[in-house]
Amino acid sequence: MYKNHERALEALARRGRRRSLTALSGIDFSSNDYLGLAGSRELKEAARSAIQRDVSIGSGGSRLLRGNHREHEALESEAAAFFGAESALFFGGGFIANLAIFSTLPQRGDLVVHDALIHASVHDGMRMGKAERAEAKHNDAQSFEDAITDWRASGGTGTPWIAVETLYSMDGDCAPLDDLAAIARRHDAVLVLDEAHATGVLGPMGRGLGAHLEGHANVIALHTCGKALGAMGALVTGPRVLCDFLINRSRPFIYATAPSPLVAAIVRAALLICRFDNARREKLAALVAITRAQLAETCGLTSSATHIQPVIVGSDDRATRLAAAMQARGFDIRAVRPPTVPEGTARLRLSLTLNVDEVLVSSMVAALAEELKRLDT
């Protein structure tokens, strides 16, 4: 009955691309828990406090039925104020939020121009939607403008939507936001910013790299809550009319059980930490600077300027062997292979979090240097 599935899995295994789940072990250089909040005393206390005030664990239904809880509404109100947007809407996760945005908001006759490295959830949302789509070269503002100009010249009359990640999760590089915002203004376009890996870490109070653009009538942002914020879920922020449209037309919102009210309460606490505790961000920034210097000096690697550090080794086999060697030495570092990254760019993705310190970073870099040399012998 499942011969086709078995053959597909065997083909993945032959190419070194079959995925499997592994138990949690080793020193954390792979999670997205950038501020170390996931297991923090502060968020555990927020959970205890919420339970003591009788906040429900489950929502019991969709938001449009009986699943709309006061904690959802409180979070959305506080998030809109924190991020400087007119409105916010809470989803169960970043993937479903992107699915909702791009399957619902761009209309037939519109155009979505997306970065070549945009997340898979955006691609799935665009496939479900009705708008035309065009790919722009990675972080090339002119490529975005050319795509819109060509579309207008060919008769496009709708609204252009520009879709980017502010910080790219596999390369650690940042989008040219001011240039893209200028293009959006010139072409009466909507700018959609996926702040998943920047929220909590970058920008004033951790509001993201696009914080200075939020509140503009043509800007929507996605802030995930399961990375630096240490919980789960995602917040879509932007004009009230678009959040209302999602409530009324978005199938991923309408037909999904509402996120846990308890989690909403925990996210509220995480946002307060971001607002008032800059020390975590400063500590992470210092760790990034130390890591970059050591990767350059010890490994001869040119690194990104952020908490995401790719070590590109080329082939799938080299990446998996290097990752296995580092794991054997006690460091939880994972290989990332196509199709998650382009062909020929398999890599290790080093994620810097406050779950490690300078001593552990130095040990990891020293081990990496040794294993890189061994890989080439």
**Catalytic residue list:** 32, 119, 165, 169, 194, 197, 227
Amino acid at residue number 100: A
Q: Which residues of 152-168 are buried (b: 16+ CB within 10 A; e: fewer)?
A: eeeebeebbbbbbbbbb
Cα(269)–Cα(280) distance, rounded to whole angstroms? 15
Location of structure tokens 């952020």 = 306
Q: How far is it, in rounded angstroms, from Cα 316 to Cα 338?
A: 8
What are the b/e assignments for 207-218, b being 16+ CB within 10 Å?
Answer: bbbbbbbbebeb
Q: At what angle do helices 94-104 and 120-128 cross, to 10 degrees?
A: 30
| Cross-sheet strand order for the sheet of 160-165 | 87-91, 234-238, 219-224, 190-194, 160-165, 111-115, 132-136
Angle at 275 between CA 27 and CA 195, to 5 degrees: 65
Q: Per 3-state DSSP, what percentage of the chain is helix, strand, and coil (rounded to 5)? A: 45, 15, 40
* CA separation for the pair 210, 214 (Å, rounded): 7
